[in-house]
Amino acid sequence: MNARSIVIVLALVITACSTQGTPSGGAAATDQGSGFVFASTQFTPTTEQEAMRTKILAGYKGAPVDFITDAEGVILDRITAEAKAGGAGKVGLIGLENGQFGSLISGLQDLGSTMDKYKGIPADFVGLGKLGTATQYYVPWMQATYFLAVNKKALPYLPSGADVNALTYDQLITWGKNITDKTGKRMIGLPAGNNSLLHRLLQGYFYPSYTGGLVTTYKSADAETMWGAIKELWKYTNPQSTTYAFMQEPLQSEEVWIGFDHAARLINVLKAKPDDFVAVPAPAGPKGRYFMTVLVGLAIPKTTANQAGAAALIDYLLQPSTQIATLRENSFFPVVKVDIPGDLNPGLKLEADAVAKQAGAKDAKPVPLPVGLGAKGGDLNKAMVDTFQRIVVKGEDIRTVLNEQAALVQKAITDAGATCWGPDGSSTGPCQVK
Amino acid sequence: MRLPYAVDRALVYAVALLLAAWVLVPLYFIGLAAFSTPDAAYSYPKALLPVAPSAETMRFFLDSRGVVSSIVNSFAVALLTIVIALLLGAPAGYALARFAFRGRDAFAVLVLTTKMFPIAILSIPLAVTFLQLGLYDSIVGVALVHSAMALPFVILVTSGVFVAVSHELEEAAQTLGCSRWTAFLRVALPLALPGLAAAAIFTFVISWNEAFASTILTLRSRTLPALVLTALDQSPITFKFAGGFVMAAPAIAFIFLMRRYLLNLWGGR
């Protein structure tokens, strides 16, 4: 190939390729206005994206929708840019976690008048959708939580008197010790790798269960006790945990027997081997069985060209049949009242039971995701994961690390101007680390 | 001491094989896992040979919406970037190499300062500007940003190339009836071609690997890295391997295509 033919080929390729991707997804458009983008921080894994486009949205008959997912920063930047640029934006609907809406408030439509249509959404979820104001900025869409997936091979090593469905953290540690003593292996797994959700386990499980708070008790004496317990747990935790992002993979390869993670990050192994596994509620600490409820909501930016189309898509996503499809395909649980079908996949059934047992436990106390941190949420998460790294992985002195990291936690919260939330109660100014 | 010819050759080949293995062994494992069943990819220890070949993961990945069109977009953006960056960068490099002008050294340094500016800070203003200009979500818009990123390298590489092309040859061509322009076109440019090919490969790799600007500036017309980077981060490992394979393979193919021009540069046989 000589130089000239290369140039010609380049020119042809560029001309041929300079077209925009065409919107698809959903079914053929009826008269519902122009197509729009549904941007979300959820369903980023390839398989979940495809399930969303080809199955969950399959029954939607409105305007053509392009479902696009990306990391939180990218999605928020893009929506902010559309709001600043003015004119008609391409993004018609956004689906974010409760804590991710904060910085977008001024660009979101009031959805208050539509809430009557959606039956059975718990009142505290509806309240979260107001983001601490009187305006309904988002409509709750779906929910998830975290719990333990346990290989049945681990059950014979349960400490005597322990009920696997009502464990305490102390029993979990003893359980891990029993396994290590008998098999020589460390078979507990924590998601402590890159892109893991370890910070959520600290924020919604360990901290409140041991200290009754998070920010206000960050460096308390109870927190010292908690970190001591996590260090003890780590002795029986597979050291490869620092590479795990999703616990379903090491559970499937039997590198670990007991894994603590987000429902969507356990589902593949439960679906693949439902007979070999049980799913059980998170353990309880001295202050109770705290667990985190992940609430994902839907909001419409003011800049969208097709308000009616976006509202119609919300209607569709909140229909009981769509909510069940979302559970079946991507393992997020319904927010509206639905009858869970009897023919549910056995893996999903395990999860649904664990979720019900966890929420229904006598000592159960739900915690939301951090509220009001907006873009500073990442700083808070990093400060907490770094605390874990320094104390548990590197073995630094607990008191020293807590004092140093507490300053970073405080900075993230003060920078965001976030008041106390969840287990910390409420405050007038930024929540104060104690 | 002089080594016998056979030993000398054997050593050269051994080093060459080692270097090739350095690059090819990881690619082999990526390819192997991309074309295996998920169970085989999860198993441990890993098999060294394809024990459970399957195109299932790969097919699902390539059938996912937007993957094929994003590969096409990635190529289009990369090629457009090469054209823009060379059209702007090569003359600038030529000027730096041939002409003495006031502020020449300052210009050479100034070109590099663009690399000092982190693009992450620019994300929202850039997206707002592109939205207002109507360049948002278009291949041309992404290619423009990639060109801006590649230009410093292109200018510095091409100026080095043109310095190496003897000025006397161009002057000789001018005494034989060429204009300044035709002398450049017929004498300097062909001699500089290997260097320009190197600049083109460099530009291609910069554009092909770039994810941040493409992610911020596109919604539907995404390039491959923009489409898959976040998704693969959170996907099962079989998809990571499939995505890695699709990311690596075209770039390798492109470099093979351009390889002959590089060999010219290094005095290939």
Residue B47 lies in a domain: yes
Helix (H) / strand (E) containing A262: strand A258-262
Architecture of domain A30-143+294-351: 3-Layer(aba) Sandwich (3.40)
Q: Is B137 within 8 Å of A20 when comparing Cβ atoms?
A: yes
B79 and B48 in a common domain: no
**Cβ <8 Å between B231 and A45:** yes
pLDDT of residue A207 exceeding 90: yes
**Quick one: A146-290+353-424 is in which CATH superfamily?**
Periplasmic binding protein-like II (3.40.190.10)
Q: Which of A168-172, A412-416, B1-5, B122-126 has the lowest mean pLDDT?
A: B1-5
Identify the residue among B46, B71, B131, B146 best suited for mutation to test binding to A, counting A beta carbons within 10 A and taking the highest. B131
Comparison of pLDDT for B184 and A6, the residue scoring more: B184
pLDDT tens, position by position, A313-353: 999 999 999 999 999 988 899 888 888 888 888 999 899 88
B98 and B172 together in one domain: yes
- Whether residue B192 lies inside any domain: the answer is yes
| B147 shares contact with chain A (CB less than 8 Å) | no
Rounded distance between C-alpha atoms, residue A215 and residue A211, angstroms: 10
Rg of chain A (C-alpha set)? 23
Residue A316 in tokens: 């569709």
C-alpha span between B124 and A49 (Å, rounded): 25
What whole-number percentage of chain A has pLDDT above 90? 53
Residue B261 included in any domain = yes
Name the residue ranges covered by the structural domains of chain A: 30-143+294-351, 146-290+353-424
Tokens of A311: 């509202």
B83 with A14: Cβ contact below 8 A = yes
Residue B197 has pLDDT above 60, yes or no: yes
- A183: helix, coil or strand? helix
Mutation for A interface: B138, B219, B229, most A CBs within 10 A = B219
Q: Say yes or no for a CB contact (<8 Å) between A81 and B215.
A: no
A86 → chain B, closest CA residue: B132
Residues of B in contact with A255 (CB under 8 A): 44
Alpha-carbon distance B233 to A41, whole Å?
A: 13
Q: Clarify whether residues B8 and B116 are in a common domain.
A: no
Q: So what's the pLDDT on residue A13?
A: 44
Residue A174 distance to chain B (closest CA, Å)? 28
- Are residues B109 and B47 part of one domain? no
- Predicted confidence at residue B211, as pLDDT, reads 85
The reply to whether B60 falls in a domain is: no
Q: Rounded CA gap, A396 and B252, in Å?
A: 45
Interface contact B220-A66, CB threshold 8 A: yes
Q: Give the whole-angstrom CA distance, residue B263 versus residue B269.
A: 8
Q: Which residues of B touch A80 (CB under 8 A)?
A: 124
pLDDT given for residue B264 in this prediction: 55
- Shared domain check, B43 and B8: yes
Same-domain check for residues B81 and B183: yes
Work out the burial of residue B174: count CB atoms within 10 Å of its CB; fewer than 13 is exposed, 13-18 middle, 19 or more buried.
middle
Q: What is the mean pLDDT of residues B3-7?
A: 85
Assess contact for A229 and A172: CB atoms under 8 A: no
Residues B128 and B25 in one domain: no
Mean pLDDT on A150-156: 93
Report if residue B98 sits inside a domain: yes
Nearest by CB to residue A81, choosing from B128, B139, B231, is: B128
Provide the CATH number for the domain around residue B80.
Answer: 1.10.3720.10
Q: B35 and B78 in one domain?
A: no
From B64, B79, B123, residue closest to A49, measured CB to CB: B64
CB-based contact, B46 to chain A, within 8 Å? no
Q: Assess whether B193 and B239 both reside in one domain.
A: yes
Element (H, E) at A49: helix A46-51
Counted domains in chain B: 2
Mutation for B interface: A1, A7, A14, most B CBs within 10 A: A14
Query: Cβ(A253)–Cβ(B44) under 8 Å?
Result: yes
Which range marks the domain in which residue B47 is found? 1-54
